[in-house]
Structure 1
């Protein structure tokens, strides 16, 4: 088994990579009101710009995971930030809707190449009972990145314009590629083999057998539905505060960062619980988390003041982000060692399918009705679907009579 110091060094590197990843990913949402005004785009058209990222991100998931399994995670974690930094900078040169959509598709594909590699390293270096907490620690960057970038992006936006903001924020990814090349060894020792539902010596073609399992499709659909809510939240939350709650640009940076800090706290809390007291009931824990998210979103839209709305968004983020650690520990439980990258890519493909449609649907609803009501209801419904899938997954994983299902409690 890899020495403790070594595996936490790897965890730190992929955390930093994800942090920088989200610096580049969330800046479009912060710049959205300004870009829509300058490029004369309505919310419906800008929904396609937001969806362009998830389209590229989705198509790269399985190839990126396969390449990580085939050539090693380190290789993908160096190539991916170099490519996405190039396309971050190119976003600042886009002057038409078509050019903007095209560059965001390429940006998304570049980021998607690293996702399976990161989860592969978690699975390789952490035992099953450690993975919920390890994933939560790693994925806390999803919340801390946006919390940090909101005020930074607003500063660049007001001083250099949205074009300059994208060009300057292309630099951290390049620095991250050099750091990973320097710190992560070419060969990372793997943790001792632990019990999973499938043989760890299955051939690479075994991915076809894995995706035939009912549990694989349950978690695929569950993650798809969750990402409808997640990407609608991530893409439209700053615009909601600006358009519906009339928070001005200078205040928007701070206001938009507050919910993400609560999201990071939720990740740590539920990641720890998923590795400790409720390890055996992670699927039910996730279902409860998503129901709480739906309730919080409903409250958010129905409160009277901007301050109350930010409080509601913060509660929503606490639960919305809280499920990430337990979810990905379950994904790794379902996967043999030599297919961790590819199967993680398969599940995340489902997530990005949901993420692709979510901004478009919300953008259309806002343009058609002049209100965010339809968008909020869409997110709430998706969360209930995801909660139902995880409830069914809990029952399936504990049904010993089903062929190929893990006997390890969910």
Structure 2
């Protein structure tokens, strides 16, 4: 790999003052992919609301109902890395539009399924459609922002997760009540098609104000192959970091409501209303974390280490017998502190790597959280059944520790992360 820091075009680009404000095109790109993410979360959350009605109409056992949810997560996780490679090969816009169209079609198809086998197949295909979107959205935003803006822009885009969850809870429940669960899937699927069309028609072209910098990135990308990414210990360190984060996020969303209902006797309606607090806290934290890590030059440790230490403290407090309002407040704090770490986990690869390989790198890291989403709910269930709720919260603490340790072991910033590829290539050349 050539040392890009010595490239005259890059040197010229670096002498210019970094742009900290997003351009109009960048804002439009963030808005379009924000809408895509809102529909992504609304569509995937809708089935959790509709599941009792689906189970009754199709005569499904609790195990079969659970399999319908798991089918999405399995295919969604499997397609992450291949999806990222597809994004880098075919382009972010084309892959994003295809992904949104695909999952919207399968959202509509969910409303037409008349048997367990058909529904299971549809939800698995739905997961494949959604699985290519994360890498496409991040790459598209990266192509329309400077490296100094990327995590800020991505943080705004990912704040959509909170909006999508609330849309599913409010609009989804209302639609099911008025037109039935089948009609709810038809409506959300149709809206998703409109969002796909909007991305295809209105997404601005790749930024043209930094042509020299883009040329340097393309030159660097040609020297970093997919196999180089997969051989990178630094990249797998970020995968481990996001796995630890995912243990906290998925464990909390899967089991905290059950804890409040089963162990504390809180009515489900109250728990559902209280769930808005951590969702909003996480959305705000996503924006702040992205903006702050950009201000810090992509140095993730300055956010992830104190953020995970705060999460450990909050989780330790949650193991105590506390009044319910205090416990719900702690859930909000846990969502905030963990949410602050979301964007920083990706900062070094997304800011440091050329945009030509960002899709694959992002998708590889994202797989860490998906694996945590598959494993953590089951592990916590086993611990709750055989040990105690307090021990189950200890599983979440273990996730914090994994994230924290990985953050300390990987390179501290984008430049150091990219330099690991340079050193490996130099070592290979010296050996030859």
1:279 and 2:297 aligned: yes
1:357 and 2:378 aligned: no
1:173 and 2:192 aligned: yes
- Quote the residue 1:209 is aligned against: 228
- Quote the residue 2:3 is aligned against: none
- Quote the residue 1:121 is aligned against: 140
Output the CA distance in 2 between the equivalents of 1:307 and 1:160: 35
- Quote the residue 1:337 is aligned against: 355
- Quote the residue 2:149 is aligned against: 130
Q: CA deviation at 1:218?
A: 0.6
- Quote the residue 1:379 is aligned against: 396
1:139 and 2:161 aligned: no
Conservation of the 8 A alpha-carbon contact between 1:215 and 1:405? no
1:256 and 2:275 aligned: yes
- Quote the residue 2:129 is aligned against: 110
1:15 and 2:34 aligned: yes
Conservation of the 8 A alpha-carbon contact between 2:286 and 2:339? yes
- Quote the residue 1:5 is aligned against: 24
Output the CA distance in 1 between the equivalents of 2:367 and 2:208: 25
Q: How many residues align?
A: 400
Conservation of the 8 A alpha-carbon contact between 1:22 and 1:146? yes
- Quote the residue 1:88 is aligned against: 107
Output the CA distance in 2 between the equivalents of 1:204 and 1:67: 18
Structure 2's unaligned 5+ residue stretches are: 1-12, 14-18, 424-432
Once the two structures are superposed, the pairs formed by residues 30-109 of structure 1 within 5 Å of their partners are 30=49, 39-41=60-62, 48-92=67-111, 100-109=119-128
SS in 1 for 2:148: helix
Cα distance 1:48–1:69, how it changes in 2: closer, same or farther (>3 A)? Answer: same
Q: CA deviation at 1:13?
A: 0.8
Q: CA deviation at 1:113?
A: 1.2
Conservation of the 8 A alpha-carbon contact between 1:222 and 1:390? yes
1:149 and 2:171 aligned: no
Equivalent residue for 2:330, pick from 273, 293, 312: 312
Cα distance 1:380–1:95, how it changes in 2: closer, same or farther (>3 A)? Answer: farther
Output the CA distance in 1 between the equivalents of 2:349 and 2:120: 31
Once the two structures are superposed, the pairs formed by residues 183-198 of structure 1 within 5 Å of their partners are 183-185=202-204, 187-189=205-207, 192=210
Conservation of the 8 A alpha-carbon contact between 1:300 and 1:308? no
Cα distance 1:372–1:34, how it changes in 2: closer, same or farther (>3 A)? Answer: farther
Query: Which moves more between the two structures, 297-306 or 101-110?
Result: 297-306
Conservation of the 8 A alpha-carbon contact between 1:130 and 1:275? yes
Equivalent residue for 1:233, pick from 214, 229, 252: 252
Cα distance 1:162–1:255, how it changes in 2: closer, same or farther (>3 A)? Answer: farther
Output the CA distance in 2 between the equivalents of 1:115 and 1:21: 10
Q: CA deviation at 1:319?
A: 1.6
Cα distance 1:76–1:374, how it changes in 2: closer, same or farther (>3 A)? Answer: farther
The higher relative CO (CA closer than 8 Å, separation ≥ 6) is in: 1
Cα distance 1:46–1:63, how it changes in 2: closer, same or farther (>3 A)? Answer: same
Cα distance 1:322–1:239, how it changes in 2: closer, same or farther (>3 A)? Answer: same
TM-score normalised by the chain length of structure 2: 0.80
1:390 and 2:407 aligned: yes
Conservation of the 8 A alpha-carbon contact between 1:225 and 1:351? yes
Question: Over alpha carbons, which structure has the higher Rg?
Answer: 2
- Taking only aligned residues, the RMSD between alpha carbons, in angstroms, comes to 3.5
